[in-house]
Amino acid sequence: MNAPVKPVLELLIAAPRGFCAGVDRAIRIVELAIEKYGAPVYVRHEIVHNKFVVDTLKAKGAIFVVELDEVPDGVPVVFSAHGVPKAVPAKAAERGLSYLDATCPLVSKVHRQAERLVAAGRHILFIGHAGHPEVIGTFGQVPEGEMTLVENPAQAETVSVPDPGKLAFLTQTTLSVDDTAATLAVLRRRFPAILAPGPNDICYATTNRQSAVKAIASSVDLMLVIGSPKSSNSMRLVEVAVRNGTCATLIQRADELDFAWFDGVGTVGITAGASAPELLVRELVAKLSERFEVIEREVETIEENVVFKLPRGLEAA
């Protein structure tokens, strides 16, 4: 008897997708620290927001903690890619802990800008999402009260500032490009003298992944975004897909797939947030292949070749 014919499903796979240079570097730092110092190596906070990555590193000997107090004396600790308030390395130094900073260099750049702007007497309006570790880390670079969080255009309309003539703005690196432009437009209208150190601080990886989703959104019936609900850039990919006219769902692993989603669906878009490894994309395609005759097509909007240097002392580990 012939095997039943599987329905055809076309997959448009967005490129760039998945790991960015900052995530790649942060994971390498933990791996190399384990090689160099031996397990366990402590990591303050999830090194990147992806359960698969965290579980893989745990299996290699990483122990993830929320605060430094949980790190015993005499063992190395790594700070996550999102960055940490200045008080954290200061406290580690006070305790004599050796630490490795896996903060993405693009986040560190925002930290240095924040310090410079405050030193120059400017109050900073910071566009970002309350509670995100990157926002907490950036606020922790300057004295309390020198920076005000603005989450959206509505808050930009009402935010009050100490002196409109001495203002600057900075942004989280993983925001929606379109939402940030809307928030900035309000700030620029209300505070024409606001200093812009650059167009914004949304990183190349966030920008490129959102552009890649926009390029395929109108051609697919459903967009699957692989990423964690804690991952800001992954959540933004879902929003970008929906705004550009398609249904979109965030999944962490292929086993979360519900084949009921595919009723009447002929073309599916696939992308992955900056902290999701390619292996999870391949796992998803394999899962879909169990049910469908899949036809894969990668749609590349820009080639990425960004690589960040490792901290000194780890390259030769």
Burial 133-162 (b: 16+ CB within 10 A, else e): bbbbbbbbbbeeebbbbbbebebbeebebe
The minimum distance between CB 19 and ligand SF4, in angstroms, equals 8
Q: Is 102 in the site for ligand SF4 (CB under 6 A)?
A: no
Per-residue x/- marks for ligand SF4, 154-173, CB under 6 A? Answer: -------------------x
Q: Is 226 in the site for ligand SF4 (CB under 6 A)?
A: no
Cα gap 227→220, rounded to integer Å: 19
* Whether 49 contacts 236, CB under 8 Å: no
Among 233, 234, 267, 271, binds ligand SF4 (CB under 6 A): 233
Burial class (CB in 10 A: 0-12, 13-18, 19+), 309: exposed
Whose tokens are 């260099």? That residue is 105
Q: Kindly indicate which of the ranges 36-44, 117-125, 177-185, 200-208 contains the residues binding ligand SF4, using the contact rule CB under 6 A.
A: 200-208
Bridge partner residues of 123 (DSSP):
167
Active-site annotation holds for 256: no
| Residues 103-142 within binding reach of ligand SF4 (CB under 6 A) | 104, 106-107
Among 80, 141, 171, 174, binds ligand SF4 (CB under 6 A): 174
* Whether 194 contacts 167, CB under 8 Å: yes
Q: Kindly indicate which of the ranges 1-9, 116-124, 155-163, 202-210 contains the residues binding ligand SF4, using the contact rule CB under 6 A.
A: 202-210
* Whether 78 contacts 53, CB under 8 Å: no
Among 23, 54, 170, 272, binds ligand SF4 (CB under 6 A): 23
Among 50, 206, 208, 228, binds ligand SF4 (CB under 6 A): 206
Q: Give residue 15's region: left, alpha or beta (phi > 0; psi -120 to 50).
A: beta
The minimum distance between CB 200 and ligand SF4, in angstroms, equals 12
CB atoms inside a 10 Å sphere around CB 23? 27
Q: Is 30 in the site for ligand SF4 (CB under 6 A)?
A: no
The minimum distance between CB 80 and ligand SF4, in angstroms, equals 10
Distance of CA 106 to the CA centre of its chain: 11
* Whether 29 contacts 311, CB under 8 Å: yes
The minimum distance between CB 249 and ligand SF4, in angstroms, equals 21
Of residues 81 and 117, the one with the C-beta less far from ligand SF4: 81
Q: Which amino acid is at 106?
A: L
Bridge partner residues of 62 (DSSP):
41
The minimum distance between CB 190 and ligand SF4, in angstroms, equals 28
Site for ligand SF4 (CB under 6 A): how many residues? 15
Question: Catalytic residue among 10, 31, 134, 146, which?
Answer: 134
Give 175's DSSP letter.
S
Of residues 104 and 125, the one with the C-beta less far from ligand SF4: 104
Residue 206 parent element (H or E): helix 204-217
Of residues 20 and 127, the one with the C-beta less far from ligand SF4: 20
Of residues 137 and 269, the one with the C-beta less far from ligand SF4: 137
Among 11, 13, 20, 125, binds ligand SF4 (CB under 6 A): 20
Instruction: Provide the angle, in degrees to the nearest 10, between the axes of the packed helices 177-190 and 204-217.
Output: 120
**Residues marked as catalytic:** 134
Return residues touching ligand SF4 (CB under 6 A).
Answer: 20-23, 81, 104, 106-107, 173-174, 203, 205-206, 233, 274
